[in-house]
Amino acid sequence: MALVEGNSVRSTCRMTGIAKGTVLSLLADMGNVCAKYHDERVRNVAARRIQCDEIWSFCYGKDKNVSEEKKAEGAGSLWTWTALDADSKLIVSYLCGGRDASYAMEFMEDVASRLTTRVQITTDGHRAYVDAVEGAFGMDVDYAMLIKLYGSPAQPDTRYSPGVCIGTESVRIIGNPEPMHISTSYVERQNLTMRMSMRRFTRLTNAFSKKVENHEHMLAIYFMYYNFCRIHSTLRVTPAMEAGLSSHVWTIADLVALLDKRSILHGLMRTA
């Protein structure tokens, strides 16, 4: 619970009195079972509108501070691609890695494999999406880009000032997307929830991930918690319940039970 509510590994250790190695071991075990459960069960989603986006983070160090040897091991920038059902708020698919065309294609193919209906997709202006969406869906999709137009930072002398969004432009790419639903607002709000819920994503701290594997494990746990345990304040149910993938609100004990079931299964396999 602590790790998905904005606490770092070390603060979790201090609160619980559990050794760091034990917490990291549990992180890896839970990450594996959560990733497997999501892959197997978050399928046949009857969505109408999907919003996609990428959120930046880094592992070990920022690109400018990482050697080529470390970059080969996965250090540097990490992008988390997310696809969110605008109606149920379910995270249908996610992928952690680079931001190039190969990752875009892998991500969109996974999104397409989990849907049962023709959908309207909205992405930002990242050009890698164009070929990826067409390659994954063909013409059986209504796809538009929402391109944000930025001006100069309001205070250009400050170090981390972002550009000021001065407008947006909607561009139809495939099919006939409904103009009123060309939006990335929900998935961008989900990006904020990620930054608030996982200490690894908090800017200007030393809580960033040190190992890519642990970063991926944390994402798997977080998305399971978000989809199945966390009640959405607007829906008053979890995204998984709204999407018809669950009949009840999961507890942390239910998540841990996935790990227990895997241990029991492994024990049966060893004795067989």
3-state SS, residue 15: helix
What pLDDT, on the 0 to 100 scale, is given for residue 162? 64
Q: Starting from the edge strand earliest in sequence, which strands make up the sheet with 91-97, in order?
A: 91-97, 76-85, 49-59, 120-123, 142-150, 165-174
Q: Which domains does the chain have, with CATH numbers?
A: 3-271 (3.30.420.10)
Higher pLDDT, 271 or 15: 15
Q: pTM for the full model?
A: 0.89
**Cα pseudo-dihedral 48, 33, 6, 231, rounded to 10:** 40
- Torsion on CA atoms 52, 50, 194, 237, rounded to nearest 10: 180
Q: How confident is the model at residue 265 (pLDDT cuts 50, 70, 90)?
A: very low
Mean pLDDT of 111-125: 96
Q: What is the pLDDT of residues 225-252, one digit of tens each?
A: 999 999 999 999 999 999 999 999 999 9
Please state, in angstroms and rounded to a whole number, the distance separating the CA atoms of residues 186 and 161. 23
Instruction: Flag whether pLDDT at 268 surpasses 80.
Output: no
Q: What is the pLDDT of residues 139-176, one digit of tens each?
A: 999 999 998 877 766 565 556 566 777 777 899 999 99
State residue 28 phi and psi, 5-degree precision: -65, -45
List C-alpha distances in Å: 214 to 55, 199, 253, 254.
17, 13, 21, 22
